[in-house]
Chain A
Amino acid sequence: MSAIQPNVREPVSEELALVRAAKRGDDKAFEELVRRYDRNVFRIAQHITQNREDAEDVVQDAFLKAYGNLAQFQEQSKFYTWLVRIAVNEALMKLRRRRPERMVSLDEDIKTEDDSVPREVADWSPNPEQMYKQAELREILTRTIQGLPAGFRTVFVLRDVEGLSTEETAQALELSIPAVKSRLLRARLQLRERLSRYFQKRASADEANGASGDGDQ
């Protein structure tokens, strides 16, 4: 099996040129950075907060904080990683405000070890996405990922949806690399387990009658 390829992003040097121009007061350069990353920040924020209005606020607040603190950005990481860190913190603050009864942190729920042991080992349909209408599929995917603890969800979104490297994810979340890897494995396995009930191969009428099952969609 081949390895999952990371999402490709813009070259760093181009990003850095924009950041330096923005630091010198060029607002058009900053606006270009907003254009580049607003969609990513929105997705990350909505995954964490699970609320669209909160996600809109996070987009504004994160860029505004980045703008106000550009001088402090030391250029030791990518601007995008630094921005994601700001956005994640803003999003977690929103989540805590909405759920004051629960202490939401990136470290939550790390003590249970049994939640990632695979139980569903039936194979999936070859094209699981095509088993459902688009709206149904979105509902399934949204509900499933929302069921993960915030700490796992955030690592999965940064690493697998946004395509940050393990190192970048660790930087953005201020976690160690082993902590990122451990959360990522458990997030992936838990999502897989939960999606299995929707995407398992369904026995076709032919198979049910004992005939050989080619085309078992």
Chain B
Amino acid sequence: MKCSEFLNELTNYLDGALDDRTKSELEDHLAWCHNCYVVCDTTRKTIEIYRNSELYELPDDLRGRLRSAIMSKCSLQKKSGPQSV
């Protein structure tokens, strides 16, 4: 397997979406190709860092205000009839 072939399958590999044979071919490649190993490992870390990052959390006070605004607009909308998307 070439590095470019490994790279094409990287997303499927990280998502666990490969059949056993392709997965094993990829892992054989990872065992001897240090560059691909690093790319794979650091891509996984990239995903995990973003997933755990809690960027853009909605603060509780703003959350409450938004919900109140949404529900009161919904009531108004109910009285005035449906909108189109």
Interface residues in chain A, defined as those with a beta carbon under 8 Å from any beta carbon in chain B: 1-4, 7, 25, 27, 30-31, 34-35, 38-39, 42-43, 46-47, 55-56, 59-60, 63-65, 67-69, 71-72, 86, 116, 118, 121-124, 128-129, 137-138, 141-142, 145, 156, 160-161, 163, 166, 181, 184-185, 188-189, 191-192, 195-196, 199
Please count the residue pairs between chain A and chain B whose beta carbons lie under 8 angstroms apart in the complex.
149
Residues in B neighbouring A7, C-beta threshold 8 A: 51
Beyond contacts A38-B63, A123-B38, A191-B50: 11 other A-B pairs, Cβ-Cβ < 8 A, are A31-B67, A38-B58, A39-B57, A39-B63, A47-B55, A60-B73, A118-B7, A123-B42, A156-B50, A184-B11, A188-B11
A60 partner, pick from B30, B42, B66, B83, beta carbons under 8 A? B66
Contact across chains for B58 and A185 when beta carbons are under 8 A apart? no
Residues in A neighbouring B71, C-beta threshold 8 A: 27, 30-31, 34
Contact across chains for A69 and B84 when beta carbons are under 8 A apart? yes
Contact across chains for B55 and A160 when beta carbons are under 8 A apart? no
Residues in A neighbouring B35, C-beta threshold 8 A: 118, 121
Interface residues in chain B, defined as those with a beta carbon under 8 Å from any beta carbon in chain A: 7-8, 10-17, 30, 34-35, 38-53, 55-58, 62-63, 66-67, 69-71, 73-75, 77-78, 82-85
The 9 closest A-B pairs by CB, nearest first: A3-B16, A68-B83, A46-B56, A185-B11, A121-B35, A42-B58, A192-B46, A43-B56, A63-B70
